[in-house]
């Protein structure tokens, strides 16, 4: 069985361009960067998606996302950054091991990470408001 590539990075079997490491977390440069300094932050332990990691481990992880985000901003002298986190193939997740992307952004860089452009109708919003609340 082929093991998960990010598990291999977590175990030190593959050596990425590492920018941060502690007992549970590692951050490194993405090999297909969307922008210079594009970095990834992962737990060393395998969790497939954001829904799978225990709350306390996620808390640690998001703190490191903040730390790495600040460092990437400074190092690249970016004007901003996106934190992107894909869950499951339908959402563009190619590596099924939880990870956060940190993508530095520059004024007028032309990078397209587009969200919706059409305003929702009121009844649609009301429908999803009540349905999602039922599952919280
Ligand atoms: P996803 O589409 O799953 O959210 O993003 C996975 C990211 O991991 C991609 O941006 C891809 O370039 C990156 N990636 C995949 N394999 C490797 C690898 O072996 N080393 C590094 N450094 N990045 C990888
Ligand atoms: Zn894994």
- Rounded mean pLDDT of 126-136? 94
CA–centroid distance, 29 to ligand 2, in Å, is 17
- Which residue segment(s) compose the domain that 97 sits in? 5-133
> Which atom of ligand 1 is least distant from the CA of 99?
4
Catalytic residues: 99
Question: Does residue 131 register a pLDDT over 80?
Answer: yes
What predicted TM-score, i.e. pTM, was given to this entire model? Answer: 0.95
> Which atom of ligand 1 is least distant from the CA of 86?
4
**Residues around the ion ligand 2 (C-beta < 5 A):** 4, 6-7, 46, 97
Decide whether any atom of ligand 1 lies within 6 Å of the 51 Cβ.
no
CA–centroid distance, 32 to ligand 1, in Å, is 7
70 Cβ contact partners less than 8 Å away, ≥ 6 residues apart: none
37 Cβ contact partners less than 8 Å away, ≥ 6 residues apart: 29, 72, 75, 76, 78, 104
Task: Specify the CATH number for the domain of residue 67.
Answer: 3.30.428.10
Reported as a pLDDT band with limits 50, 70 and 90, residue 116 is confident
- pLDDT of 114 reads 80
What separation, in Å, do the N-terminal and C-terminal C-alpha atoms of the chain show? 37
Question: Does residue 2 register a pLDDT over 90?
Answer: no
- pLDDT of 118 reads 93
pLDDT in tens, 41-81: 999 999 999 999 999 999 999 999 999 999 999 999 999 99
Q: Per the structure, how many domains does the chain have? A: 1
Decide whether any atom of ligand 1 lies within 6 Å of the 28 Cβ.
yes
């Amino acid at each position: 069985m082929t093991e998960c590539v990010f598990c291999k990075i977590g175990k030190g079997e593959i050596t990425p361009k590492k920018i941060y490491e502690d007992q549970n977390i590692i951050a490194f440069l993405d090999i297909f960067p969307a922008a210079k300094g594009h970095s990834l932050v992962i737990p060393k332990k395998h969790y497939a998606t954001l829904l799978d990691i225990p709350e306390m481990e996620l808390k640690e992880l998001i703190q490191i996302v903040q730390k790495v985000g600040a460092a990437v901003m400074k190092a690249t002298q970016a004007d901003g950054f996106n934190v992107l986190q894909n869950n499951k193939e339908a959402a563009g997740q190619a590596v099924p091991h939880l990870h956060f992307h940190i993508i530095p952004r520059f004024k007028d860089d032309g990078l397209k990470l587009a969200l919706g452009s059409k305003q929702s109708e009121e009844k649609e919003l009301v429908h999803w408001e009540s349905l999602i609340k039922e599952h919280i």
